[in-house]
Amino acid sequence: MANARGPMPLGVFIGSLGYHMASWRHPDAPVGGEMDLQHFVNTLRVAERGKLDIFFLPDGSGVRGRDEPRGALSRSSRNIQFEPITLLCALAMASSHIGLMATASTSYNEPFNIARKFASLDHISGGRAGWNVVTSRTEMEAQNFGLDKELPADQRYARAAEFVEVVCGLWDSWEQDAFIRDKQSGIFYDPDRMHMLEHKGTHFSVRGPLNIAGTPQGRPILAQAGASPAGQELAAATAEVIYAAASTFEEAKTYYDSVKGRMAKYGRPMDHLKIMPGVMAFPGRTRQEAQDKYDLLQDLLDPILGLAKIAESVGDLSGYALDELVPDVSDFRNLNRGKLIIDQARRRNMTLRQLCVSVSASYGHGQIIGTPGDIVDQMEDWYLREAADGFNILPPHLPGGLADVVDMVVPEMQRRGLFKIDYAGRTLRENLGLPPHVNRYAAQRGAHRAAGE
């Protein structure tokens, strides 16, 4: 069966042991898996067996979260994790087609280092690297880099925009045919195809060139997850993938139209960007089986974890009664995410306890509990009505929660023509259906030739 838009891309969010806050307590969770390479290899192989496009590792520059309310941090498994690019280089050797994407912050890195690391990953993986661009927004991260608190939002995004500009410039340092490697003549590279960047800006001064050759897919894929107006502008100007958060069709559609509507002013066609909302799926052969899987994890939740998750974006609500309605909050630590959480909760007349349970499970993302048909119905609706270009799967626990999607949901998507039967190519760019990257200097050379210069 075919559909009007063709097959969609799918990625998977790999949060060590799963996206659900109680994932580490699941009976099937491997004890110590968050620091076990074999656990990640096993999970990667499940994802590639399902023909998923992106294996995505989030990251932060330190333990992420205040111990607020007190005692919450010690109940979370999300305070230790591998450095993601190191891990992805190892996983590149255990896979052949799936894209390998990691988060790296523009706040506490330098463009040259990031350009070199992701270019190296692209070579090692044969063209499957992607960089999720983020700005760090917590004081805990800032204090690991000599600062008392994080930079103001406007400074973070201004730095990020210039950071991406520099990285992309460095990735174009060498044209694809620069390296002659002629043993007879002794010429290793054509100096006319090596380019100095000579960037001097507000935040960075970078001479270049990058000491990594042009990569198999021209440059790694750029991803972003900004929800704020500044974040949407950065994504519209530079991103090729967006990881979005929305729990309803209306929220997803509003965000989709807002970002896509900004692309024209940057000279970018809308199909050069794939917006992929997160979805946490609990599939079962029956709806009761799916509900039982959900209930198992929910029963393992401590409400304090929900309060801690809310505190990241909203603030500490532990002084309010758990079984009263969510309070009307107006001051947020993260305006966009915090307001989204509170507005959704009050619209649904949720108690604070119900909100704790909800955010611990999906944190503002879509959540579907049901048969494969139920799950694909919603994904298909969002996709065909252009609220999504694909989805980022948020397995509640790993590797079993991902295996459920691969073994039950993916075949139903394939039956409906919503997902591919096999990979389209070897690079992430090919598999996402994105256009080839054209080196800026090679493009200029071609333009000069066309003009007869």
The two three-digit tokens of residue 116, written as one number: 């070199």
Q: Flag whether 398 is in a domain.
A: yes
| pLDDT for 39 beyond 50 | yes
What is residue 395's three-state secondary structure? Answer: coil
Q: What's residue 452's pLDDT?
A: 75
Dump pLDDT digits (tens) for 371-415. Answer: 999 999 999 999 999 999 999 999 999 999 999 999 999 999 999
Q: Flag whether 313 is in a domain.
A: no
Q: What's residue 398's pLDDT?
A: 97
Q: Flag whether 344 is in a domain.
A: no
Mean pLDDT of the chain: 93
Helices (H), 333-409: 335-347, 352-361, 372-384, 400-404
Q: What's residue 1's pLDDT?
A: 46
Q: Flag whether 357 is in a domain.
A: no
Q: Flag whether 139 is in a domain.
A: yes
Q: What's residue 218's pLDDT?
A: 95
Average pLDDT over residues 175-182: 96
User: Is 385 within 8 Å of 249 (Cβ atoms)?
Assistant: yes
Average pLDDT over residues 96-108: 97
| pLDDT for 2 beyond 60 | no
Which backbone phi and psi does 372 adopt, to 5 degrees?
-55, -40
Q: What's residue 363's pLDDT?
A: 67
Q: Range of 440's domain? A: 10-299+366-450
| pLDDT for 65 beyond 70 | no
Dump pLDDT digits (tens) for 190-232. Answer: 999 999 999 999 999 999 999 999 999 999 999 999 888 988 9
Q: Flag whether 350 is in a domain.
A: no
Confidence of residue 90 (pLDDT cuts 50, 70, 90): very high
Average pLDDT over residues 421-425: 96
Q: Flag whether 73 is in a domain.
A: yes
Q: Flag whether 310 is in a domain.
A: no
Q: What's residue 54's pLDDT?
A: 98
Residue 241 maps to which CATH number? Answer: 3.20.20.30
- In order, the DSSP letters of 228-248 are SHHHHHHHHHH-SEEEE--SS
Percent of the chain with pLDDT over 70: 98
Q: What's residue 312's pLDDT?
A: 82
| pLDDT for 139 beyond 90 | no
What is residue 89's three-state secondary structure? Answer: helix
| pLDDT for 314 beyond 50 | yes
* Total domains in the fold of the chain: 1
Question: How far is residue 173 from each of residues 133, 186, 210, 350, measured CA to CA in Å?
Answer: 20, 22, 6, 54
Instruction: Give the contacts of 312 (CB within 8 A, at least 6 positions apart).
Output: 64, 65, 66, 138, 333, 334
